Amino acid sequence: MGLARLELGMLGFTQQKRLAMSARSAVAHLWFRSLITASVVLTSVLFAEAAVAEPERPLQVVVSTQPLLRVIQSVAPTGSVEVNVLLPRAASPHDATLRPRQLQQLVDADWLIWMGPVVEPYLQTWIQKRQGPSLDVTTLEGVIKLPPRKPMEGGDPHDHDSEAGHQHSGTANFDVHLWWSRENLLLAADAVAERLIALRPNLKPEVQQKRDQLQIAMQQLATEYPQGGTKIQPFAVFHDGWQYLERDLGQKAQAGFVLDGELAMSLRHLAKLKQHFRTHPVACVLIEPGMNTALVGKVLPDTPTVLLDPMGWDVPSEGIVPMLRHAYESLARCGRAGAKN
């Protein structure tokens, strides 16, 4: 009887031991599974954080001039591109020189947008060294190219030819200020949008949305300032760079002439210009930054001036619509009280 009890006790102890071992095994198994699950979760989090920490890099784009930067701003989503403008403020696109850093940017950029060899001959050699794509806006299908105007009434043919040689290399068979045409700007915006989508397909919805918004804004601008429907007083220009803008508004400068701030104006030339404006009065003069306003005053004393930058540097807001609106509003102020600036 005692032996039976002992065996029964031993059996109970063994079962308890086995149950304890089984419990420990179950706990260990659960702990191991929890560890694996935590590892998987941690790995997923780390991968997710890595994906957030390393977003797609912005496209590196080089443009030759400020108006082309405005075209990109009008259709590119915020943060999708980094743009470098080669031509600094007040520099001429016809005889500019590039610093080594700019040359490297030009060669390395994902994309280059320029105005072509006729307008910007200084870029031609370097563009040939590029491996990436380039866009010459002047070659876009449907781009409007107005013929160069002959010197307008009041201008000195010799002076105008001299200015044309300085500003436009004397070789263009079209007026090179293409960016003041609404149609040309929309063509350029379409080309930029198409290329952005080709380079970054994931940007397509945002690019298309911005392109649609631009179209609406440009239509609204055309409604506010229709061709021939905007009342603008007769005006004179000192640089014949506004033909496309005049065409869009259905206006034409009353006279155009060039004054070289570094050369003394002959008395004969001064008398000729004064005589012209006595018979063809103007309400204002369209001038540009850096122009010698003292010489302007000799020709048209007490005549209001309207300051406009042909490259659009004087407009702080981004995009092409603010640039055009500023120019239209400036011309509409011509002749009004307080127009002088």
Residue 7 clears pLDDT 80, i.e. is over it: no
Whether 334 shows a pLDDT value over 90: the answer reads: no
Residues 146-200 have pLDDT tens digits of: 998 875 544 443 333 333 333 444 467 899 999 999 999 999 999 999 999 999 9
Integer Cα distance of 213 and 1 in angstroms = 100
pLDDT of residue 234: 86
Determine the topology of domain 228-332 in CATH: Rossmann fold (3.40.50)
What mean pLDDT comes out for the span 65-86? 96
Q: pTM of this prediction?
A: 0.76
* pLDDT digit string, tens, across residues 36-52: 555 544 455 455 554 45
What is the mean predicted confidence (pLDDT) over 263-278?
77
Backbone angles phi, psi at 254, to 5 degrees: -70, -35
Provide the residue count of the chain. 341
Least confident segment among 119-123, 136-140, 205-209, 293-297: 293-297
Query: Smallest Cα–Cα separation from 123: which of 138, 144, 140?
Result: 138
Q: For position 45, what pLDDT does the model report?
A: 47
Q: Would the CATH topology of 59-149+174-223 be identical to that of 228-332? A: yes
| Strand, coil or helix: 300 | coil
Q: What is the CATH number of domain 59-149+174-223?
A: 3.40.50.1980
Residue-range domain boundaries for the chain = 59-149+174-223, 228-332
pLDDT digits (tens, 9 = 90+) for 275-326: 888 888 889 888 888 887 887 888 888 888 889 999 999 899 999 999 999 9
Task: Strands of the chain (E only): list them.
Answer: 59-63, 81-85, 111-114, 134-136, 235-237, 255-256, 284-287, 305-307
Instruction: Provide mean pLDDT across the span 247-269.
Output: 69
